[in-house]
Amino acid sequence: MNHSPESYPLDNESEESAAKASSNTEIAEVDFESEAAKLKDLALRARADLDNFRKRSLREKEDAIRYANNGLLEKLLPVLDNFELGLDAAKTAPDAASVLLGMSMVQKQLQEFIRSQGLEEVKTEGEIFDPKKHDAVAQEFSADIPEGQVIRQVRKGYNLKDRLIRASSVIVSKGPQT
């Protein structure tokens, strides 16, 4: 006996159910297509927004780097102004004392400024030579200063907060000459 679906006669209700199912499938396919189109459009817009965000972020980063020293330089301008005034006064000053006083004032102002920005001198006097913060430019014999200790500084070194900006150039003791 054949039990395939074709062997059973369909009644009217079954035919209507099959027609509705077929119609629902077509509607569902249409809904999937429109939903897929909406999602594709959303994805394209999201990609474009991400690309625009990346470009904007890159521009902002470049501007931040380009103008990073703006505030620092604005604060340094009064020091430069005073230095120029001192030089002008030196041209007409009859004595060196007034020029020295003016230059000392500019030096003090400059030191206060760099300290306010977090710049500190690297200590060298009486220190044991440390290649992480000192640059030895020479060695000399010394009866008074033990071997490996800094005798004198040739050029100042600086730290910006906890980071070395420039090592101190120093002359290091070889100890007493034997």
**Judgement on whether residues 112 and 97 belong to the same structural domain of the protein:** yes
Cα(174)–Cα(155) distance, integer angstroms: 20
Are 140 and 174 within 8 A, CB to CB?
Answer: yes
Q: Are residues 127 and 174 in the same domain?
A: yes
- Is residue 99 a part of any domain in this protein? yes
Q: Using the predicted structure, report yes or no on whether residue 27 has a pLDDT greater than 80.
A: no
Question: Is 6 within a domain?
Answer: no
Tell me, yes or no, whether 29 lies in a domain.
yes
Give the separation between CA 19 and CA 149, rounded to whole angstroms: 100
**66-75 pLDDT tens trace:** 888 777 878 8
How many residues belong to the chain? 178
Q: Is 3 part of a structural domain of the chain?
A: no
Domain membership of residue 97 as a residue range: 69-117
Percent of the chain at pLDDT > 90 equals 40
Give domain status of residue 2, yes or no: no
Whether residues 175 and 127 share a domain: the answer is yes
Section 146-159 average pLDDT: 93
Same domain, 157 and 128: yes
Q: 169 and 137 in contact (C-beta within 8 Å)?
A: yes
Number of domains in the chain: 3
CATH of the domain at 163: 2.30.22.10
Report the range of poorest mean pLDDT among 7-11, 54-58, 125-129, 170-174.
7-11
* Closest C-alpha among 81, 140, 71 to residue 106: 81
Q: Is residue 61 part of a domain?
A: yes
pTM as predicted: 0.55
* Statement to judge: residues 132 and 109 lie in one domain: no
